[in-house]
């Protein structure tokens, strides 16, 4: 709420507009956060082309997106949340929390997604070209399931914008942007947060439906038409 300058009465204002007004007037405080890079592209493993530019996403399990985000641990340490999500429904299908950026976390999240969704051959898996997603074990898991592999262009994080957005929602709305005492506390909150995100949080991009509802309806329609 802000006061109307003409009458001194309170008026409603959205968060984004408030931040714009503060920024325009030089009143918004600067936030300084320690940043942890999660993408290591300095490797000689094969990199795959960017396949989903301009693609019409029409159904669940058409395209999956994977990403990694860091989570702070006290004192001055990090752990990492690995996610695999369905692009059409925004549903998180697989996840893992690990103390390092080793490929095991990415593989565990992918295996969870594969076991849950059981996608048909031909689905697209999209990610950045970090070493985790280019690793032989990860690529082998995808190839065994008949996945088509797509990756972002060099220094093009916006090529994976939906995965980044899901990370942001979990961190900003569900408290995963905090500093935790240990990795077990991160895991417990991550499990609860992903469950609420999938099954209770309404998305404007989904017509105010939950990711789980959109995902399940799409799968049901696909099975019926098969």
pLDDT for 35: 46
Going along the chain from its start, the domains and CATH numbers come out as: 1-32 (no CATH), 63-225 (3.30.420.10)
DSSP string, 145-202: TTPEEEEPPTT-GGGGHHHHHHHHHHHHHHSTTSEESSHHHHHHHHHHHHHHHHHT--
Phi and psi at residue 124, to the nearest 5°:
-100, 130
User: How many whole angstroms separate alpha carbon 124 and alpha carbon 217?
Assistant: 20
**If phi over 0 gives left and psi between -120 and 50 gives alpha, with beta otherwise, what is residue 114?**
alpha
User: How many whole angstroms separate alpha carbon 104 and alpha carbon 173?
Assistant: 27
CA angle (202, 203, 204) in 5-degree steps = 125
Cβ neighbours of residue 122 under 8 Å, at least 6 residues apart? Answer: 146, 147, 148
Q: Mind listing the pLDDT tens digit for each residue in 71-117?
A: 999 998 999 999 999 999 999 999 999 999 999 999 999 999 999 99
List of the chain residues with pLDDT < 50:
4-7, 15, 19, 28-35, 38
pLDDT for 20: 58
CA angle (33, 77, 180) in 5-degree steps = 80
DSSP string, 15-43: HHHHHHHHHHTT-PPPP-----------S
pLDDT for 31: 40
User: How many whole angstroms separate alpha carbon 122 and alpha carbon 195?
Assistant: 28
Classify residue 45 by burial, with Cβ atoms within 10 Å: 0-12, 13-18, 19+. Answer: middle
Encoded tokens for 41: 């592209």
């Amino acid at each position: 709420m802000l006061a109307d300058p003409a009458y001194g009465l309170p008026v409603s204002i959205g968060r984004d507009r408030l931040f714009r007004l503060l920024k325009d007037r030089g009143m918004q405080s600067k936030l300084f956060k320690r940043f942890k890079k999660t993408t290591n592209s300095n490797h000689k493993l094969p990199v795959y082309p960017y396949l989903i530019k301009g693609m019409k996403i029409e159904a669940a399990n058409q395209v999956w997106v994977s990403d990694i985000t860091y989570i702070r641990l006290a004192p001055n340490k990090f752990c990492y949340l690995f996610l695999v999500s369905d692009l059409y429904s925004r549903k998180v299908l697989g996840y893992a929390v690990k103390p390092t950026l080793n490929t095991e976390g990415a593989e565990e999240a992918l295996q969870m997604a594969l076991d849950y969704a059981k996608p048909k051959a031909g689905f697209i898996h999209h990610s950045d070209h970090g070493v985790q997603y280019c690793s032989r074990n990860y690529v082998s898991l995808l190839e065994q399931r008949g996945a088509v592999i797509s990756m972002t262009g060099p220094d093009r994080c916006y090529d994976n914008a939906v995965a980044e957005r899901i990370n942001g929602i979990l961190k900003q709305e569900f408290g995963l942007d905090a500093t935790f005492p240990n990795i077990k506390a991160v895991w417990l909150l991550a499990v609860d947060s992903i469950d609420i995100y999938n099954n209770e949080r309404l998305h404007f991009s989904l017509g105010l439906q939950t990711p789980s509802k959109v995902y399940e309806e799409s799968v049901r329609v696909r099975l019926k038409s098969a």
